[in-house]
Amino acid sequence: MKKLIAAAALGLSLSVSFAMAETVKVGMITTTSGGGAGLGIDVRDGFLLAVKNAGADIEVIVEDDAQKPEIAVQLADKMIQSDQVDLLTGIIWSNLAMAVVPSVTAQGKIYISPNAGPSPLAGAQCNENYFNVAWQNDNLHEAMGAYANDAGYKNTFIMAPNYPAGTDALNGFKRFYKGELAGEVYTQLGQTDYAAEIAQIRAAGADSLFFFLPGGMGIAFMKQYAQSDVGVPAMGPAFSFSQDILGAVGDAALGVKNSSQWNKDIDNAANKQFVETFQAEYGRLPSLYASQGYDAANLIISAMGKADVHDTDAFRAALKEADFDSVRGDFKFGNNNHPIQDIYVREVVKEGDVITNKIIATAFEDHQDAYAAECGM
């Protein structure tokens, strides 16, 4: 009997080490050109850094989707059929995620989102093969809605681009915000001139402005807004004030409040190592996108230690455990494979010559998205 157990244990350990020895092929479809390139490059660099820090046996194939849904769909087909990747990840934009993820998961491939978290994929269209390691789109905006109440704002003007994450953003804000809306505007995705919107904000008599404009859109808007002397305090999710755009916005962003699930001053060993090695490797401060790419890779690495990637059921179960040290601290998956996590309020500050963010409050603890109940899992 004892022999049998020893043999079984030996066999088990052999099979585990065999599982760990096999290279995992990850297909990363992300945006590395155009106005959204800063986001994709940060996700990619964060991901590759985690692979390097862990010395993990992962082969990453990175392709640029140029922020276009049709290119992302083609890349996904190519990666599954000709590159034969084991997992997919990388998409930044929700409209691209909506085009790619449902067909990828339907083919039995696991997709791990390092950024986009459109509401349908968290609710009615949730899938056991889809994991989101960043947030559901609404989350950070919900935190700002709650913050607006605390700050005593009663008449907020809200604005976002017209695409899935934009509608999720404004819905998320409105879910927690209790005051009146001075106006609600949807801009074009990729828009660079906001003079028409700024004129409306000025005329609306608002006491505050909430806007969601990631990447180059945020830079353009924040500069124009500051130059126009509107005098209405602005706030937004971290995407409007992330590290990749603060340098280009300049002093115009100082003092602005924004919400994030991560910041470089969160005090834990994993985050410390992440921020230090990221700066050493790339010579710049990481943004929240980089932290999400880093966590996505560490999630995959944690699952690789527990299961063989070719045994999809076992690997999926290992991913669901989320047994890794997230740079944001506490992290676990809800029933719909979306995070349950803390969300903070940050302020844009100047540290020496560098403009960056500092956590000033906790908006939510162990916050889950509003769509989890609609998911049948």
Residues in contact with another protein by CB under 8 A are 32-35, 37-38, 41, 162, 167, 170, 181, 184-188, 190, 192-193, 195-197, 199-200, 202-203, 216, 219-220, 223-224, 227-229, 244-245, 247-250, 284
Determine which helix (DSSP H) or strand (DSSP E) holds 287, and give its type and residue range: none
- We find the least distance from the C-beta atom of residue 149 to another protein, in angstroms, to be 20
CA–chain centroid gap for 246, Å, is 18
SS3 117: coil
- We find the least distance from the C-beta atom of residue 361 to another protein, in angstroms, to be 28
- We find the least distance from the C-beta atom of residue 203 to another protein, in angstroms, to be 4
Q: What is the largest CA-CA distance in the chain?
A: 83
Residue number, 123 or 216, with CB nearest to another protein:
216
- Signed CA dihedral, 279, 283, 289, 294: sign only: negative
d(CA 170, CA 163): 11
User: In this structure, how many other beta carbons lie within 10 angstroms of the beta carbon of residue 53?
Assistant: 18
- We find the least distance from the C-beta atom of residue 312 to another protein, in angstroms, to be 35
Q: Is 128 exposed, middle or buried (0-12, 13-18, 19+ CB in 10 A)?
A: middle
- We find the least distance from the C-beta atom of residue 215 to another protein, in angstroms, to be 8
Residues 6+ positions from 266 with CB-CB distance below 8 Å: 327, 328, 329, 344, 359
Task: Copy the structure tokens of residue 158.
Answer: 């809200």
Residue number, 37 or 307, with CB nearest to another protein:
37
Residue number, 37 or 99, with CB nearest to another protein:
37
- We find the least distance from the C-beta atom of residue 14 to another protein, in angstroms, to be 45
Residue number, 230 or 300, with CB nearest to another protein:
230
- We find the least distance from the C-beta atom of residue 320 to another protein, in angstroms, to be 34
Amino acid (1-letter code) at residue 219: I
Residue number, 103 or 155, with CB nearest to another protein:
155
Residue number, 200 or 312, with CB nearest to another protein:
200
Residue number, 34 or 102, with CB nearest to another protein:
34
Residue number, 246 or 266, with CB nearest to another protein:
246
Which candidate, 34, 40, 31, places its Cα nearest to that of 287? 40
Strands in the chain per DSSP E: 24-30, 58-64, 87-89, 110-113, 130-132, 155-161, 180-187, 208-211, 234-237, 257-260, 332-333, 339-351, 354-367
Residue number, 120 or 305, with CB nearest to another protein:
120
DSSP state of 20: H
For 167-222, give the DSSP string. Answer: HHHHHHHHHH--SEEEEEEEEPTT----HHHHHHHHHHT-SEEEE---THHHHHHH
- We find the least distance from the C-beta atom of residue 205 to another protein, in angstroms, to be 9
- We find the least distance from the C-beta atom of residue 305 to another protein, in angstroms, to be 33
CA–chain centroid gap for 117, Å, is 8
